Amino acid sequence: MSQSVSSAATTAGVGVQAAKRRTFAVISHPDAGKSTMTEALALHARVIGQAGAVHGKGDRRGVVSDWMAMEQERGISVTSAALQFSYRDTVINLLDTPGHADFSEDTYRVITAVDSAVMLLDAAKGLEPQTLKLFEVCRQRGIPVITFINKWDRPGNDALALMDEIEQRIGLRPTPLTWPVGIAGHFHGVIDRRTGVFTRMQRSPGGADLAIEEDMTAAEAAERFGADWTTATEELELLEMTGADHDQEAFLGATTTPVLFGAAVANLGVRQLLNVLVELAPPATARPTAAGTDQPVDAPFSGFVFKIQANMNRAHRDQVAFMRVCSGKFERGMVVTHGGTGKPFTTKYAQQIFGQGRDTIDEAFPGDVVGLVNATALGIGDTLYAGRPVRYPALPSFPPEHFAAVRTDDTSAYKRFRRGIEQLDAEGVIQVLRSEQRGDGTPVFAAVGPMQFEVATHRLEAEFGVRVKLEFLPYEIAAVTDAAGREMLRGESNVEVMTRVRDDALLAVFQHRWRMRTVAGRHQGLRLDGVIDAG
């Protein structure tokens, strides 16, 4: 399915290869069109012959994973991996962020492995909760965001109103690169604000092929589109007056967002988006280490694990660690050092994985994602390196919003129960907490999305033979506190302070956001950090 774009470049320097990489994720709310956009991007890069092969809806053959029966029942994908393709001599790595409503920490972690993000908005819905949450993670990590207003082929909001919404609600200054001629639902094409050229766009017959594009002069467009053309040019004047022009430094500094308009389903505006990714999105560059230095891309090989997925292939019962290469050249079979233990690690089984598609990877460069198969020694956030030791900062743990005490009635299974929970914790499937208030030592599962509970209980049963019972706790918000905070909160009712096993962080958990605010108001100097506020 995917082509080995990196192999052609064996002789080129690592720096040159890194400069060619664009590693990004699409962040969006379910149904905004992420899968459709993935297909459309892949179509443009000719990875697949016909749009439809990635998504797998209806009778189209899907390559999105079905690694668990549960997924199939629900018709959703809970895997994240990377799709690699080449476009205009650039290697594009599109990291998949599962887009269903019950999303989990995996979705957040993917953002730690990208250099930029495409924020996909439904023209009729604007900014939706999940987009806001994911955007917040981009903001915290200073990741530049390109905005694509999707579904312009059907009725939606006014373009200027959408610009206002972006600026007001997320504080990023929109700097449109293209501007639509025709309101949502009456889409004629876009004006490129940098060149002034108007490109008429029409969907191909059936919509499955590239859009039909035709550049027109202003006079031709004015004659053809009358009032729509006049409105667009007036809006452009307004944008010019407010200084909403692209500024590369501000974009890379994550204070502005270039905006494009289109309709992924008809491949409209997708070529323009790819061009912006190639021309403006940041390549793989030096990466900050835990020691506070920057690891240059041409240093010896290093990378970090941002995702672990077990049992992706039921026939093989394997476990895959997804690693982003940060520096140097990765070659399959090389023996590297595992940062956590200092032990050698052989990378014999390295693959490029997207859904069910797998290709053996022989080499990879900074920005690329490698799936290391049967890498049971690796944990989330682990660094691998060749040469001088390097360690990348621990991956952030995200504040959970769902909590359940977990028990088993089967006393003979207690050891397996403990081992299973340790394994799930190490993989980052779910957060495991202990609470002083629960004297019996019952662990508490904490999740960013409720589906993590299903994955965890399913795996405890399938892989460790332990049936567990979950007792859902009435909390829905958590913030990191400290020992002083724990003392302050002792007398408060309906507040628990629990220790997260993974990193010994103290989490104060509350029933509601307003309850947290009231309690915080009562205790001066109470530390409550890390709440992702999606408004």
Residues at the binding site for GTP are: 96-100
Rounded CA gap, 386 and 307, in Å?
Answer: 20
Work out how close the CB of 396 gets to ligand G4P at its nearest, in angstroms, rounded to a whole number: 24
CA atoms within 13 A on the CB side of 209: 6
Give the binding range for ligand G4P (CB under 6 A) out of 13-21, 158-166, 225-233, 258-266.
Answer: 258-266
Per CB under 6 A, does 265 bind ligand G4P? Answer: yes
Please list the residues that pair with 319 across neighbouring strands.
310
| 451-453-458-463 Cα dihedral, nearest 10 degrees | 120
Is residue 154 close enough to count as binding ligand G4P by CB under 6 A? yes
Residue 355 vs 428, nearer CB to ligand G4P: 355
150 lies in the binding site for ligand G4P (CB under 6 A)? yes
CA distances from 14 to 61, 69, 89, 364, 467 (A): 36, 41, 15, 10, 49
Among residues 14, 18, 32, 488, the one that binds ligand G4P under rule CB under 6 A: 32
Candidate list 138, 263, 451, 507; residue touching ligand G4P; CB under 6 A: 263
17, 35, 107, 131: which one contacts ligand G4P (CB under 6 A)? Answer: 35
Please report how close the Cβ of residue 499 comes to ligand G4P at its closest, in angstroms: 36
Q: How far apart are CA 247 and CA 513, in angstroms?
A: 37
Give residues with Cβ within 8 angstroms of 99, minimum separation 6. Answer: 28, 29, 30, 32, 34, 35, 130
Q: Which of 30, 300, 450, 530 binds ligand G4P (CB under 6 A)?
A: 30
Tell me how far, at minimum, the Cβ of 169 lies from ligand G4P, in Å: 20
What tokens appear for 269 in the block?
């505006």
Cβ atoms of residues 329 and 365 within 8 Å: yes
Please report, as a single letter, which amino acid is at residue 521. Answer: G
- Residues 218-257, mask of contacts with ligand G4P (x by CB under 6 A): ----------------------------------------
* Using rule CB under 6 A, residue 130 touches ligand G4P: no
Which residues have a Cβ under 8 Å from the Cβ of 487 and sit 6 or more positions away?
Answer: none
Q: Is 189 in the site for ligand G4P (CB under 6 A)?
A: no
| Binds ligand G4P by CB under 6 A, chosen from 191, 264, 310, 373 | 264
Burial of 98 (C-beta count, 10 Å sphere; 0-12/13-18/19+): buried
Q: Are 508 and 465 in contact (CB under 8 A)?
A: no
CB 159 within 8 A of CB 129: no
Nearer to ligand G4P, 31 or 247 (CB): 31
With CB under 6 A as the contact rule, the residue among 98, 99, 189, 420 that binds ligand G4P is 99
28 binds ligand G4P (CB under 6 A): yes
Pairing of strands 287-288, 294-295: antiparallel
DSSP state string for 226-261: HHHHHHHHHHHHHHHHTT----HHHHHTTSEEEEEE
**Nearer to ligand G4P among residue 166 and residue 263 (C-beta):** 263
Least spacing, CB of residue 152 vs ligand G4P, in Å: 7
Q: Which stretch binds ligand G4P (CB under 6 A): 13-21, 23-31, 376-384, 513-521?
A: 23-31
Which residue, 179 or 261, is less far from ligand G4P as judged by CB? 261
Q: Does 44 bind ligand G4P (CB under 6 A)?
A: no
* Binding piece for ligand G4P, criterion CB under 6 A, among 29-37, 43-51, 250-258, 310-318: 29-37
The yes or no reply on residue 186 touching ligand G4P (CB under 6 A) is no
- Determine the interface stretch with ligand G4P among 17-25, 168-176, 262-270, 405-413 (rule: CB under 6 A): 262-270
Residue 190 touches ligand G4P, criterion: CB under 6 A: no
Considering only the stretches 14-22, 151-159, 381-389, 519-527, report the one whose residues sit in contact with ligand G4P under the rule CB under 6 A.
Answer: 151-159
User: CA 397, CA 105: separation in Å to the nearest integer?
Assistant: 8
Helix (H, G, I), strand (E, B) or coil at 189: strand
Segment 46-75, which members bind ligand G4P (CB under 6 A)? Answer: 57
Structure tokens at 431: 């957060």
Length of the chain as a residue count: 535
Tell me how far, at minimum, the Cβ of 264 lies from ligand G4P, in Å. 4
Report the alpha-carbon distance of residue 68 to residue 79 in Å, rounded.
Answer: 10
- When binding is defined by CB under 6 A, the residue of 9, 31, 124, 298 that contacts ligand G4P is 31
Residue from 6, 36, 65, 257 in contact with ligand G4P (CB under 6 A): 36
Q: Is 33 in the site for ligand G4P (CB under 6 A)?
A: yes
**Could you tell me how many residues of this chain bind ligand G4P (CB under 6 A)?**
17
Amino acid present at 409: D
Q: How far is the CB of 115 from ligand G4P (least distance, A)?
A: 22
Q: Which of residues 407-436 bind ligand G4P (CB under 6 A)?
A: none
* 510: Cβ contacts below 8 Å, ≥ 6 apart: 475, 476, 477, 478, 479, 494, 495, 516, 519
What amino acid occupies position 443? P
Residues that bind ligand G4P (CB under 6 A): 28, 30-36, 57, 99, 150-151, 153-154, 263-265
